[in-house]
Chains A and B, each alone.
Chain A
Amino acid sequence: MSNQAPSAARGPSADNATFEPRIVAFVCNWCTYTGADLAGTSRIQMASNVRILRLPCTGRIDPLFVMKAFERGADGIIVSGCHPGDCHYIVGNFHARRRFRVFRELLDFLGVDPERITFSWVSASEGGKWAQVVNDTTRRIREMGPMESWPRASTALDDDLHG
């Protein structure tokens, strides 16, 4: 796996000092992705725990993506796009804002701490803000520890639910 977090100490036994969270960022093509690119070209130092997935718009970010990421081992999620009023598709981020409000409440009700997800507005010129979102999220997830409340891919092997 080429994009594995560097020497990640994982599993419930990992203490939070050595635990390297895996964070998946779903970002929009027009603002946040460009902002993240700016952070890189500006050589801003930031945590290397975040893997970016670029989508056309936050309006295209289905909660299903977040669920799948958790299922496959993510400890934290970033969803980020254009500031309200700046959406390339005019209204995509307004819809995303409502959708993620509901999704966070659903996670909370099902017993998954919604603080596992960061939702941010990062524009194409906000390279510094992107670095801060990445660093803040990494720090927070590191404090929370590995995601243990989600049934992970590796945990289904020996289950016998209907016994």
Chain B
Amino acid sequence: MQTRSIKTKELSALLDQLRAAGVEIIAPARAPGVGRAVVYRRVSGFSDIIMGVQPRGTLKEHFLPASERILGWRRGGAHLELLEASTDCAPRIVLGAFPCDAAALEVVDAVMGWDYRDEFWFNRRQATIVVSIACDGGDESCFCHAVGLSPGSTRGADLMFVPVDGGFQVEVTTGRGQAWLEEHQEYFSEAGDSTQAVAFQERATTRSSQRPRPHMESIGRWLKNNFQHDYWDQLALRCHGCGACTMVCPTCHCFDLVDEPEGPEGGSRRRNWDTCQAATFTLHASGHNPRPGQGARYRQRILHKFSIYPARFHELLCTGCGRCSRVCSSGMDMLELLGEIHDMASITEPTTSPEARNEP
């Protein structure tokens, strides 16, 4: 695959042209309202975009919305008419996806196409070109290097931009990305000198690799063997069960289906985000709850990410973005937790020394 470059001015012009052609542009930009946090949202042009800041919200909401109508019904006299919701998706481009967010799309593909092919998800996936931006190395909550990714990982991206003076170096990573670039090649120039881009990525890798590196295989084995362990209840003491961690997680994908009457004439079936951290997630109609406390619920989240999903789909349900730690109002920390489990696993499995956590 080839390497090219694009100047900021050209990128701005390209976005204008895409918009004019009816392509939706999703990029990191300030949300409307009081908080003004950076989120992935539809933008109208380059001036809205804030490149290189990890958005507070996840990219997933553009593929799996927090709430979406999947079916409708209307009463017509004696019979009921069912209205299929369209799964079509207009062409889109995501510009400035963080590597951890782009990779998450591919991770979640596995479950979305497993026993049932989710057309809402895959039609959006197919309609969307993902352009990621190389990360500068993240903060103390990041741990992409521990889950097989890196600040320069191109997984899930069709192209990746690396910031250089006056623009970006462009790495093409998929055939789709190649075709898209060729379609718009007048905006791109030759790659030129790559010194700056290489230096950027080296700095990022150095930063991220200084953080602890828990050993995911031994953590997976420990999880499998320690379903019953005092650790879980102790761990969950400070947890409010608010589920904000799952909401901002790029890989959490659990949903609830609800039927909402909208007056006597009809209604909608909707798919809404749900969270394993809520008691109602597993509450039976009888009143029995198989996950009665926050310890059991927190354990479920960790198990799903680092044991259940890997067993079924051969990869971790986590891209190390660190949002769960950043959003938690009571200071639960994923990297700390993985380190603790790593240490407990090292005691039972002497081959993995605690020191190994810090080896790159």
Q: How far is the CB of A8 from chain B (nearest CB, A)?
A: 13
- Roughly how many angstroms separate A72 CA and B65 CA in the complex, as a whole number? 25
Q: How far is the CB of A12 from chain B (nearest CB, A)?
A: 17
B268 touches A157 (CB 8 A): yes
Size of the chain A interface, CB-CB below 8 angstroms: 12
Residue B263 contacts which of A153, A160, A161 (CB distance < 8 angstroms)? A153
B62 close to chain A: CB less than 8 A: yes
Residue A72 contacts which of B61, B68, B263 (CB distance < 8 angstroms)? B263
A156 close to chain B: CB less than 8 A: yes
B355 close to chain A: CB less than 8 A: no
A157 and B61 in contact (CB under 8 A), knowing A162-B66, A163-B41, A163-B42? no
A153 touches B41 (CB 8 A): no
- Roughly how many angstroms separate A84 CA and B69 CA in the complex, as a whole number? 47
Give the contacts of B9-66 with A (CB-CB under 8 A).
Answer: 41-42, 61-62, 65-66
Give the contacts of A141-163 with B (CB-CB under 8 A).
Answer: 153-154, 156-158, 160-163
A161 and B268 in contact (CB under 8 A), knowing A154-B262, A154-B263, A156-B262? no
A160 and B65 in contact (CB under 8 A), knowing A153-B262, A154-B262? yes
- Roughly how many angstroms separate A72 CA and B262 CA in the complex, as a whole number? 8
A73 close to chain B: CB less than 8 A: yes
Judged by DSSP, the binding face of A is loop
A17 close to chain B: CB less than 8 A: no
Q: How far is the CB of B193 from chain A (nearest CB, A)?
A: 39
A90 close to chain B: CB less than 8 A: no
Residue A157 contacts which of B65, B69, B261 (CB distance < 8 angstroms)? B69
- Roughly how many angstroms separate A153 CA and B66 CA in the complex, as a whole number? 18
Size of the chain B interface, CB-CB below 8 angstroms: 16
- Roughly how many angstroms separate A163 CA and B72 CA in the complex, as a whole number? 20
A1 close to chain B: CB less than 8 A: yes
- Roughly how many angstroms separate A5 CA and B69 CA in the complex, as a whole number? 30
- Roughly how many angstroms separate A163 CA and B39 CA in the complex, as a whole number? 11
B69 touches A163 (CB 8 A): no
Q: How far is the CB of A156 from chain B (nearest CB, A)?
A: 7
Give the contacts of A90-147 with B (CB-CB under 8 A).
Answer: none
Q: How far is the CB of B28 from chain A (nearest CB, A)?
A: 15
B264: chain A residues within 8 A (beta carbon): 1
- Roughly how many angstroms separate A131 CA and B229 CA in the complex, as a whole number? 69
A157 touches B263 (CB 8 A): no
- Roughly how many angstroms separate A37 CA and B268 CA in the complex, as a whole number? 38
- B residues near A (Cβ < 8 Å) are 41-42, 61-62, 65-69, 72, 260-264, 268
- A residues near B (Cβ < 8 Å) are 1, 72-73, 153-154, 156-158, 160-163
10 residue pairs bridging A and B, Cβ less than 8 Å apart: A1-B264, A72-B263, A153-B261, A153-B262, A154-B262, A156-B262, A157-B262, A157-B268, A162-B66, A163-B62
